[in-house]
Structure formats: structure tokens, C-alpha cells
A and B are shown apart, each in its own frame.
Chain A
Amino acid sequence: MVRCFLIHTVCPVSALSAGESRLLFSRVFGPDEGVLTEQHRGLGPEERRLLRREKTAVVARQVRSAVSLSREASGRPPVEAVPGEEALALQEAGSGAVRLRAGDPFPEEMSALWLAVQSLGFTLVCEPHENLPLAEGTLRNLTRHCLEHLHMLGPGSEVLLRSDRVDALLSRLLPHGQLLFLNHRFAQSLEKEVAAYMAK
């Protein structure tokens, strides 16, 4: 299962300190694991939400640092794609996987797959036994749709004001965190539904 899907900054943000990342979209799937573990049973829903937020913030920070180190190492100048060049942006996007040790921040070990498009990172946190090639493909697909439907290559803030579109996308392509084996026909059918939603 995918534990969460995040869209966050991977560039320096003036209001934040150097290594921090601003979360623009975060969706955690499934029940709160804190409810079922001995450790956190005493926490109320408010504290659990706070804990959830802190965990996603930790993941975003780790991915941010991985992205900046990766970009530094590759030494390639960033490609500035403009709206309409989503395919190019995706092609040039850096990608990688971060190992999140057990306890840091999830109770079990997790793999955070990331795709960095210019100043934003798209991250999928998967359980390690998950099919990572499938997860990578799903992440690319999700990113492509987000870039297109939310016009993310432009200066707008639709990702903040139209977050329901991302939710609609996730409910089709990653329902409740379930990775799906979709051949191009199944994918087309779901994408048609998504496009119909976006058109409203």
C-alpha cells in the first residue's frame, strides 16, 4: 500500500530555513496507524493529526535534501519548462528513492519514491514489499496529470486552490493508496473519468 502522496517544494523558500520544505498537498491513506499501536493509543484525534503532519513534514524534508544532493551531484543546470511542455518537464525530472528507516518517521521501514520537477517534488511513500516498478510508473502518471490539470508549470496556485482535483485523480489511479496494474485501456478509461471531472 502507498502510505501517502505528497507535493512539496524542493527549492529554497524564503520564509523557511534552509532544509525545510513547504507541503502543498498531502494525502495520507488509510486509518491512522497511531490508533492501533500501543504507543500512541492515549493520543486524541488532534494529537494524532499533529503527529501525522509531523511525519509528512519529515518525509518532505528528507526528500528535499535527497533532491538537492542529487542535483548538486549531477551538476546539470535545471531545465525551465513552460506550460505546454509537461512531457519535457517530466522527461527531465530527476527521480530516486529514499530509504526511510523504521521509526524515522514511520514504525516500519518505508521507501519514499520521488520525482523532482523544477521547484516541486512529488513523493510516494510505499511499503517496502510494494512493487516499486509499478509505484514508479504510477508516480510518473500522477505527476503528469497534476502538471497538466493544475497548470503547475505556470505561476498559478491551483495546486492549493484546486486540491480536490488531485483528490479526484488519486481516487481513480491510487484508490485508498492501492497501486493498480492498469494497461493502457484501463488507464484510458479512468483518465476519461478524471478529465470529465476536471472539465467541470
Chain B
Amino acid sequence: MYSHGSESLIKQARDIQEAELKKFYRRLAKLLQGKELGHEAMDSLQRLHLILSATKFTRTLPAELQKGLLPLLSSPVEQLQLLSSAVLRETLPLSGEELNYTQEDVLQLNSHTAALLLSQAGSRADLSSLCAQLLRSLESRQSDGPTHSLMQTLPILNTIITHSPECLTEDHLTLLSKKIVDWLRYASITQGGGASSGGFFTGPRSRQPVPTAELDGTVSGDFFTVLCVGQGFTDDQWMNVYSFSMLRHWLLTYHSVPSGSTIADAASPANRPQLSFSLSHSHSFSNDDRSEVDGSVVSMVSATSSSSRLLPPKERLREKAFQYCLRLIEQSDRKALKRTDTELQKACLVEAVCILDCVCVEDTSLVYRTFPCVKALFGRLSSDLTFARVLLPIAQFYLNHGEMAAVDCESVWKLVFGRFPAELFNSPFLAHELLRFLRLNLESLQLRVPEYTRSFPNLLKFLAWDSPAVVDDFVDLLPSLVTAETAVELLHTMLDLPCLSATLLLQLRSTCSPISEPGGRGLLSLDAFRSASLRGLFLYLLRTEAGSGDTIDRLSTLHELLAEAADWPRVVQCAQTVPVLLHIFFSAVVMIADEKLSAHLILVMLERSSLLLNIPTYIKEIHRVFSCHLLRLCKLRPSLVVDQSHELLEFAGTTANVYSKDEIYTHVVWALGEYLSVSSDSRCSVRLITSCFEALEAVLFEITSSAPPPGAACPVPRVITTLMSALAKLASRSHDLIPRVSLFLSKLRTVTRGGSVAWCTDEEDLVAIVMRGEELWSLLKTPGVAQSVLTPPPHVTTPQWHRDTNLSMPLQLRTLTSLTHTQ
């Protein structure tokens, strides 16, 4: 598809020489002067466009050429309009030569010129004047004017109000509201384009206007909507489509303030039409109000509405929008004959529910009229997963108005948090929309939907399946899923996310492929997934709700079964996102964790450090995250170290950990050395300090007396220095231990003087270790000093200088001086 040819074309366009370019401009300018513009001119224009758009730096065209291009904007040949507009959009307008349009020109404003005007608009004023011109032409339009210019009015206005809603004045809003009401509700219901029901021999007299049809072929019985078809369409039917296409945006932009909230609105409440009669002055009697002539139209939906004729334009639009949406919902129940129309019906349902939500927010009295319809729609669609994307706006509606209408929303949440993640985790658009829905309504959900925080095993399936696409959403959502009750289970779930990823793959594979692959290379994990005895392990991962246990006992078995999944791309991608999310998890949990939970988390970290799916860099990364947060928890609550000393000592006393988990080991030892003291926790006894000392001493002896066990690398130098420092710190608190440390350190010095050692291959590292040993040894020679250096009292580690009697005086004086001296 993308060939060398294309690449070289772009290169040529970017690298074109100045001289050649000038020649090209001159030739083109001359061509454009001719009467008839043939193929050569077209090709040249296209080449010009390529040259201009190939580079991000703007090229200015010579004035002569620009002047030659401007008239093409109103050429009868569309290709010329298009090309000139595209070219002019890629270059700078001639200074002073703004595209000022006079009254006549506006009526012929074609789509491509409008695009140019929009892209060149330099200020809000430009946009406002364009708006004003468009609306003037709309107002004064002859009925036989060009259709195209009418049809693109609404899209142009829509794009302007996206960026600058104030461009439309009050009058404009009124005019447009009325027009949109006409187009939406009172478009003709007969087919356009001269369609007739007559046969070959019928004359003009017997040509009956044919009514439009529904998508399933039956004749339309109500007003025209986007879901009506015909052989041809009239202008106002086209405008019906354009109006509906921008309706939601219009309502969001201009109707988002609920009525009754301002003083002006209080005077004309929308739900009391008889009062508003006086305020709508001439609106109901104006000539362009087509509702005067609609008396003969049978309308099922509008029959139930109040006499909306008497409402001011804004409220009337709201009422008509409401009716339109109800009709769309009814029409979407029909079985469309074409597949693309079925897809359109779904899109219409989404739009209709969103608009209903919008108008109900604006006028809460509409909720009672709307809810039965929405509820019925939910009932109709809830069992069909192909309508999942339609059910999300319905869920939003329930969330916004369910409480007010006192409707039970449980079945909605069961679907959104239950079935959707469990069965549709692999549909990218649903994932995108569902996670967006969660993000936008986070506060509301946390308040009103208790299922939300318990549903993380299910929600994380989106992450496990397609991490790169949704990790950004989870960065925002994860903190809200962290609660004190479920934090531990959440931690376990996140650590096993790669396993979940593999399991989801197995689940899909299991449903797609045959039970036994004849003579084929069956997957060990797939067999395990299908086997009755091991299935429970996988089912735990696939659970939909939290609360049935933090994790399973046979986790190591599960990891073994999934060992072959460690290089599946999806699993690897998932593993790459876990460390980042763990950081977010810990940052969130630190805010809500009490002593007990913090202790539990530390234990989980120690336990899981050896219980992870064996993906090469995954284990290392997780260890790094653990180290960081273990330290953080200990720093926040130093008494945890004394509290959990038994488990921490068990970890630190296991020599194997030095080799397999050096990062965590280093941090655990450091924490022990730092916080196992009376100043952290008064329960710390001499006996505890001694037993810790002995455990660490034993390990240090072991790793520095012989070569590392077969298969392991030398211990990381930092482990050794940390052990030494920790021993020194502990000794400084219990002085009878000092001789033991000093002895060890001097022995170390002797041994290393003899040259290389088996446990350290790098000379520089060895020097560093020895140096540290010497520092500690000389420090320990004066126990008092050692104590204050290695176990500083709290007022040194958490200084509050202004309180310190020695330091506060100079500080105060300095402050006073700077306040009083005017320098």
C-alpha cells in the first residue's frame, strides 16, 4: 500500500529547489489566466497542493498566483473549488486581502470556500461575522435556491459554536431554534425526488405523493426522522438529518443551564406553558411556524404532549427534541432490512438516550415522562450483548436520574460491572467507552454504587487483555478502587495480572478450538484449563467480584501451569504495565492504610516476592517497586519493623534471598538496621536486637566466607555494605555487640588484603566494601559517638529548627532584620 513511489514523491515535494519552485509558480499562474482550465491545470494544482502540504513549514505563494487562485473558489467546476480551497488552506493569506464576502457572494458560499474561511479565521470577530452572514442567507433564502449552500449551514455553524458559542446572538439562537424545530418535527412525510406510486401509464394527475417508509418497509405513520427512507428526499428532509446530527451538541451548548436557575428563567418557567404565552409574544403567530398547518398530521408521540405551541423557542425545541427521541426509540425496535441500517439504529439509540438525558437534566419534570421509555428500552436490550454500547448511555441516564425517580438500578450495574467486563473484555470500543463512563462518573459511582469498588477483578480484565490501550484509563481509575477492605486482594490481583491475561487467552482459545487437537502440539496450559481438577485455579482468576478470599493457596501450581505463557505477547505487554500501576496503588493505599493494613501489605510483599509468574524482567521490576514501597511504609510507621520483626528476620536470615532477591533484601536489612530501636517502638528489647544481630551476622559470614552457590552470581556489593551498616547500627544500640562487629570488620580487612576473594570479582567494589568496613570500625571505637551517628535521636532526624533553643535565636534575628531593613 505505502510504496517507495509515495515516499519518493513526498521527498521530492519537500526538497524542491527554490528556482524550480518559482518556475512552477509562474507556469501555473499563467495557466490559471486561461479561459478554460484543462487537465494540465488540474494536475498542476494537485502538485502544488502536494508541495505545500508535504512540509510543516509554510510556503508563501507569490501574490500573482494567489490572485489567480481566488476566483477559482467560485468556479462552477467543483474540482477547481476544491483544489483552490485546499491549496489556499495550506498557505498564508495575502496581507490585507481578507476574504470579504459581499451580500451576493454569501448566497453562493460553497462548502469549500466556507472551509477556507473557517481555517483562516483570525479572531472571534471573523467567526461572528461569518455566522451573521450565514444566518442572514438562511433567513432570506428563496425556496428555489441552491440546496447545497443550505445544507452545509448547520455543519458550519456547529463547528463554529464548538470553539466559540458566543458567536451566535440571542436573535440568532431564537431563529435557529425555530428553524430546527421545523426541520425536526415538521419535515414533509412524502418522498421527494418526484417519486410516485403510479405505473407506466399513469399521467401527472394520478401521480400521488408516496409516503416515506420505515426501515422494515412499512409505511411511516408519524413524522419524518433519520430512520425513514424514500426513493428521493426533499430539502427539508435533508435538513431533518442535518438538524438531528447536531442536535445534541446544540442542546449541550445552549441548554446546559437548567431552567429555573436564573432570575430571568424564573419568570418564564418552561413547565407552565400558559404563563409563557405572554412572553413568547409573536412567536406563535409568526409565519414561519409550521405547526399552524400540521393539524392534519396524525402523530402518536406528539399527541401526548402538552400544547407546546405556546412555549418559547428554546423550550419548544427541547420538547420537540424529546418527541423525536421517543420516536427514534420506537423506530429502532423494527427489524431493518439492511445491515448498515441496523448499525444506524444502534447509533440512533445511543444519541436518543443521550439527548433525553440532556433534556432531563435541563428540565427535571421530564424525567417522569422519560423513565418508563428508557426502562422499557433497557428491558428490551439488556439480554443482548450486541447492544452493549447502547446500554452505556442508558446506564448514564440511570445514574443521573435514577435516584430522583426512585428506580432500582441494580440490574443495570450487574450488567455494567458484571457481564460486560466478563464477556466483552476484548472489544476495544466497548472498553474505551465503559472506562470513560467510569472516569467521568467516578464520584457519583463511589457514592451510589457499592458494586463498583468490589468489581475490580472484573474491570481489570480490560487491562489484562489490552494493557497499552487502557492503561491510561486505569491510571485515573485505580486510586478509586483502593479501599481498606479490599486492598490486599487488589494487590494480589494486580500481581497476578499477567496470569489473568494468559487465562483470558486460554478461555477464548478454549471456546474456539476443538477439544482435542489430533496429533497436534497441544498447549499444556490449555489442557490444564480444561481439566476438572485444575479448573478451579483459573476460575478464581476469572472471578467477577472481590470478597471471596485474598488469593489462593496453590498459586505456585498456577504459575507453573502458565509458565509457557511467559512469552505470549499479550502477557508480556500486560506485565509491563503492572509496575506502574503498583506505584499508583501504593500511593493510594498509603493514604488510607492503618497500622494493621500496612503490616499486612508488608507481609504480602515479602511473600509474593518469590511467588510471581516467571517473566524475565517482570520479577525484577516488581522487586524494585516492592523495595521502594516497603521502605516508604516503614518510614511512615517505624514501629511496623518491631511489630513484624519476626517475619522480617525470617526473610533477612535466609541466605538464599541475598542471591535471588537482592533489591528487596537490601531494603529489608536497611529497614531493620534503621528502625529496630527503642526510639521507633518502646517494645524493642535488647533480646530482639541481639537476635536480629545474630541472624544478620550469620548471613554476612556465610556470603563473605565462600564462593556463591553454583548458578548464582556474586552477591551485590550493596547487600554487603548494607549488612555491615545494619550490624553497626544494631551494635551501637546494644554495646556488648560492638566487639563482635569490630572483630568481623578487622578480619574482613585482613582477608581482602590478601588479594581477590571468591565472593567479589570487581576490585573497585571490593575497595568500596573495605572502605565502608573501615569507616564503621573506626566509628565503633567510640560507642557514644557511634550511637549518636548511627541511631540519631528524633529531634535530629525530624528537625524543627524554629523550636530548637540554640537555633531559633539566630533565625528570629535574621527574620526581624530582613523585615525592618529596607534594602
Contacts and interface: CB of A to CB of B under 8 A. Distances in A.
A22 B54 CA distance: 10
A163 B242 contact: no
A18 interface: no
A29 B468 CA distance: 28
B7 A13 contact: yes
Interface string A119-135: 11000000111011110
B469 A98 contact: yes
A58 interface: no
B58 A49 contact: yes
A179 B252 CA distance: 16
Given A35-B123, A132-B389, A30 B432 contact: no
Interface in B557-615: 568-570, 573
B122 to A, nearest CB: 6
Contacts of B528: none
Contact of B9 (A157, A168, A181, A189): A157
B765 interface: no
A157 B6 contact: yes
A127 B249 CA distance: 11
A73 B343 CA distance: 28
Interface in B412-466: 428-429, 432-433, 436, 466
A131 B164 contact: no
B505 to A, nearest CB: 10
A164 to B, nearest CB: 5
A15 B9 CA distance: 13
Contacts of A183: 215, 226-229, 340-341, 344
B325 to A, nearest CB: 12
Contacts of B229: 183-185
Contact of A120 (B2, B152, B252, B570): B2
Contact of A118 (B1, B53, B111, B436): B1
Interface stretch (B78-86, B643-651, B790-798): B78-86
Contacts of B83: 164
A157 B53 CA distance: 15
Contact of B344 (A75, A101, A154, A181): A181
Which of B57, B119, B215, B233 is packed against the most chain A CB atoms within 10 Å? B119
Contacts of A24: 2, 6
Given A99-B473, A134-B347, A167-B86, A75 B569 contact: yes
B658 interface: no
Contacts of A9: 2
B692 interface: no
B127 A181 contact: no
B82 A30 contact: no
A2 B227 CA distance: 22
Which of B1, B124, B238 is packed against the most chain A CB atoms within 10 Å? B1
A6 interface: no
A45 B156 CA distance: 21
B160 A30 contact: yes
A74 B469 CA distance: 13
A96 B469 contact: yes
A95 B428 contact: yes
B347 A31 contact: no
Given A73-B570, A155-B5, A160-B9, A133 B56 contact: no
B695 interface: no
Interface in B187-216: 215
Interface string A72-93: 1111000000000000000000
B118 interface: yes
Interface in A156-177: 156-157, 159-164, 167-168, 171, 175-177
A35 B122 contact: yes
B233 to A, nearest CB: 7
Interface string B773-789: 00000000000000000
B241 interface: yes
Contacts of A129: 248-249, 252, 354
Given A35-B123, A167-B86, A73 B573 contact: yes
Contacts of A176: 111, 114-115, 118, 152, 155-156, 158-159
B9 A185 contact: no
Nearest to A168: B82
Interface in B108-125: 111-112, 114-115, 118-124
Interface string B153-167: 011101110111000
A142 interface: no
A13 B2 contact: yes
A133 B160 contact: no
A164 B79 contact: yes
A113 B53 CA distance: 23
B3 A184 contact: no
Interface string B329-365: 0000000001011011011101100100000000000
A95 to B, nearest CB: 7
B10 interface: yes
A30 B118 contact: yes
B529 to A, nearest CB: 18
Contacts of B233: 185-186, 189
Nearest to B55: A53
Contact of A111 (B50, B350, B432): B432
Interface residues of B, number: 94
A9 B6 CA distance: 11
Contacts of A157: 3, 5-6, 9
B675 interface: no
A120 B429 contact: no
Given A168-B82, A176-B152, A45 B93 contact: yes
Contacts of A29: 115, 118, 159
A103 to B, nearest CB: 13
Contacts of A101: 472
Contacts of A59: none
B212 to A, nearest CB: 9
A177 B159 CA distance: 7
B569 A73 contact: yes
A127 B53 CA distance: 25
B344 A117 contact: no
B398 interface: no
B400 interface: no
Contacts of A161: 9, 46-47, 50
A120 B207 CA distance: 51
B155 A160 contact: no
B405 interface: no
A125 B232 CA distance: 32
B37 interface: no
Nearest to B124: A36
Given A160-B6, A162-B46, A184-B340, A178 B245 contact: yes
A146 to B, nearest CB: 11
B58 A136 contact: no
Contacts of A175: 111, 151-152, 155
Contact of B56 (A50, A137, A186): A50
A175 B654 CA distance: 70
A77 to B, nearest CB: 13
Contact of A186 (B82, B215, B241, B248): B241
B715 interface: no
A164 B82 contact: yes
B230 A185 contact: yes
Interface in B466-508: 466, 468-469, 472-473
29 contacts: A15-B7, A26-B53, A32-B121, A36-B123, A45-B120, A46-B58, A65-B468, A73-B468, A75-B568, A117-B1, A119-B1, A129-B249, A129-B354, A131-B347, A131-B350, A132-B350, A133-B389, A134-B350, A137-B343, A153-B1, A156-B5, A157-B3, A161-B47, A161-B50, A164-B46, A176-B111, A183-B340, A186-B233, A189-B233
Given A133-B389, A185-B229, A189-B233, 11 more contacts: A32-B119, A50-B57, A70-B428, A72-B573, A129-B354, A162-B46, A168-B82, A171-B111, A176-B152, A177-B155, A180-B245
> Which 5 pairs between the two chains have the least Cβ-Cβ distance?
A30-B159, A178-B155, A97-B432, A134-B347, A53-B56
